[in-house]
Amino acid sequence: MATEKPKPISDELLSILACPACKTPVRLEDEKLVCDDCGRKYRIEDGIPIMLIDEAEQPGNQ
């Protein structure tokens, strides 16, 4: 049986986070927080979301 990888942030924290650019709630995708509205992706380092617009991965940039 495969073991699930622990989530990089808690569900409680995820429920209150929003994209700083467009104020839309974000969702967890792999190891990043993704805004479905503007498409920005924010990294998570050591359990801390880095929610800086200037450091976000822009839509179309992988």
Query: Is residue 61 in some structural domain?
Result: no
Query: Is residue 50 in some structural domain?
Result: yes
Angle at 50 between CA 6 and CA 33, to 5 degrees: 55
Q: What is the pLDDT of residue 6?
A: 84
Other C-beta atoms closer than 10 Å to the C-beta of 26 total 21
CA distances from 51 to 2, 19, 21, 54 (A): 31, 7, 9, 9
- Domains: count for the chain: 1
**For 22-60, how does the pLDDT look when each residue is reduced to its tens digit (9 = 90+)?**
999 999 998 999 999 999 999 999 999 999 999 999 987
Look up tokens 């969702």; give the residue.
Answer: 27
In the three-class reduction of DSSP (H, G, I as helix; E, B as strand; rest coil), residue 7 is classed as: coil
Query: Is residue 1 in some structural domain?
Result: no
> Can you give the pTM of this predicted structure?
0.86
Residue 14 — pLDDT band, cuts 50, 70, 90?
very high
Structural domain that includes position 41: 18-55
Query: Is residue 3 in some structural domain?
Result: no
Query: Is residue 7 in some structural domain?
Result: no
